[in-house]
Amino acid sequence: MPVKKTQIEPINTEAEKPARGHVYEHVLRYMRRGLMVGAFLPGQVMSLRKLAAGLGTSPMPVREVLSRLVAANALEETKGGSVRVPRLGPDKLSELFTVREMLEGMAAELATSKATPELLEELTGLNKQLLVAIEKRDILNCLSFNQMFHFTLYRASDSEVLMPLIESLWLQFGPTMYMSLLIPSMPWNASDHKNILAAIKEKNAVAVKKGIVHDIRTTGKALLSVAGPQGLELPFAHGPELQFDY
């Protein structure tokens, strides 16, 4: 399946000399986005040199961000001192998706009660872009628009408690989503999204939650079907140059 690449724009160190805090936030935003959409893969080792060069910055803010993400369990430090994306074993993967069902289902219910015509229009537009990406077999845009669809819905809940928890879950399981597109038994057709949109239009919070839970559970089952005892890892996890909008 070919991957369509989009260029990221490096920090302009010549014209604008950004403040150190700005650089750090820039790197953090890039890394968080990459983990949540699945642009970084299970088992992939993070290269300070490559990340710093790609973002147009020095290794120091990259090192600080990687340390923060290790502390958040989104990345792990190996015995050799390198940092990589964890390979999730079946037990942890199952637990993550179970908790996702509870928290994201709750956020979807809350969002439905506050849904506006503008939210429905935005979600419909994102899903159309997702369908185009699916048709084109454009993996990264499939992952990106899927994540944007879910987070746009959840943020409409206006919950200051749920969103940080949901983001933490996506940082941990997000890298497995690339593999979900490669599993023959996993139909990526956004059918649950269609049902969710219809339920939002009808202000049917129960049906919206049901659609979200089914969407999450289907993906979780597919990933567990290919997870070995040592966790999920793609054979080319250390190689691809995956670039994305963030």
Residue 182, pLDDT score:
81
**Residue 45 forms beta bridges with which residues?**
84
CATH (residue range 90-224): 1.20.120.530
Domain coordinates of the chain in residue numbers?
90-224
Q: Output the tens digit of pLDDT for each of the chain's 246 residues.
A: 444 443 333 334 333 444 557 899 999 999 999 999 998 989 899 988 999 998 999 999 999 999 999 999 999 998 888 999 999 999 999 999 999 999 999 999 999 999 999 999 999 999 999 999 999 988 889 999 999 999 999 999 999 999 999 999 999 999 999 888 888 777 788 899 999 999 999 999 999 999 999 999 999 998 998 877 766 655 544 434 445 454
Residue 231, pLDDT score:
65
**Contact status, residue 4 vs residue 141, Cβ threshold 8 Å:** yes
Model pTM score: 0.85
Distances (CA, A) of 196 to 118, 129, 147, 192, 236: 15, 16, 15, 6, 35
Residue 22, pLDDT score:
87
